[in-house]
Structure 1
């Protein structure tokens, strides 16, 4: 994003113009982050908006660096806020499985060739991850996708680190079994 340092300074000063620019520029990134934890589109949108409210109300805590690092720092901070907001909502709901579906237009694909294959693979993986039990899914997302350590996950979810490790192991087993079933089904069609 151009002029990210000026946008950050504007957000720290609580200037609505810059808050709007930041919101519109990073809304999609925030929504994709939340979708890894919340699969009800309406609830995910609410969580993203709540996350941005938290971001803007605590922006004075953000410490900008140099121009080249500011966007990375901001995206990391935004990602952390969105993940924590999602976990808070899941915790309040006792990590119940979500029943909503992701609207089809989210998957709209204007790509051709290899990129289209990658988008299709991504869609299939997201669906398989969605089918994991909520606790396994959350640990899988935090560890594999978001890069948290088991100790950090334990702190976020108030569970022992060993539980995080075993949940990850079980999630991987279930995903491997699901992928094997899909592979076997495709081989049978040939």
Structure 2
């Protein structure tokens, strides 16, 4: 069954097609949530919520060839909503420090090069240890390619806060990298 046929069958609420859709894309989409969640149960909750939204909104897809991209976007938005919910429950606030302009110019490309030398598990562990705000901004910017205005809108924070959190995440990662013996990198 092609993606177009699968989409049309799901839009007709065919339960078999919905099962096929779920099975076909669960690995990729669950992996996305595992990047954003603090633990596996939280990732599974976000994943289930995301698939409910996908099934509720499948009728809105106008370009079937972009179905996977659209589903990823729904899942990222679900992760962001979970982040907001957790933030409200914890009443966390982040203070903005004065950050030099040079620190804001730090390239994410350099971090990608550094991370390429580590295993996926090592990278996930390092990023997972970041505070929630830093982790969300870092993942959205570095791993999913969102820019600061987009992140600010998605997380309901200022663009400056997004930049600040990214710089703090990078600085925190530098410390963690140094602890595991990686002391040379091109960034900052």
Give the TM-score normalised by the residue count of structure 2.
0.77
Superposed displacement of residue 163, structure 1: 0.9
Superposition RMSD in Å: 2.0
2: CA distance, partners of 1:145 / 1:30: 14
Aligned length: 157
Is 1:88 matched up with 2:81? Answer: yes
Q: Deviations over 1:95-147 (max 9, x none)?
A: 75xxxxxxxxxxxxxxxxxxxxx797110000000111110000000011111
1: CA distance, partners of 2:161 / 2:84: 16
Partner of 2:156: 158
Partner of 1:58: 57
Q: Is the 8 A contact 1:11 1:19 kept in 2?
A: yes
Superposed displacement of residue 43, structure 1: 2.1
Give the TM-score normalised by the residue count of structure 1.
0.76
1: CA distance, partners of 2:17 / 2:6: 5
Partner of 2:41: 42
Superposed displacement of residue 184, structure 1: 6.0
Q: Is the 8 A contact 1:5 1:64 kept in 2?
A: no
Q: Is the 8 A contact 1:34 1:47 kept in 2?
A: yes
Partner of 1:78: 71
Partner of 2:143: 145
Partner of 2:96: none
Q: Deviations over 1:55-95 (max 9, x none)?
A: 01111101134xxxx1xx22211111111112212211217
Superposed displacement of residue 12, structure 1: 1.7
Distance 1:183 1:85, change over 3 A: same
2: CA distance, partners of 1:184 / 1:4: 44
1: CA distance, partners of 2:182 / 2:12: 57
Q: Report the secondary structure of 1:183's partner residue.
A: coil
Partner of 1:16: 15
Partner of 2:178: 180
Superposed displacement of residue 39, structure 1: 2.5
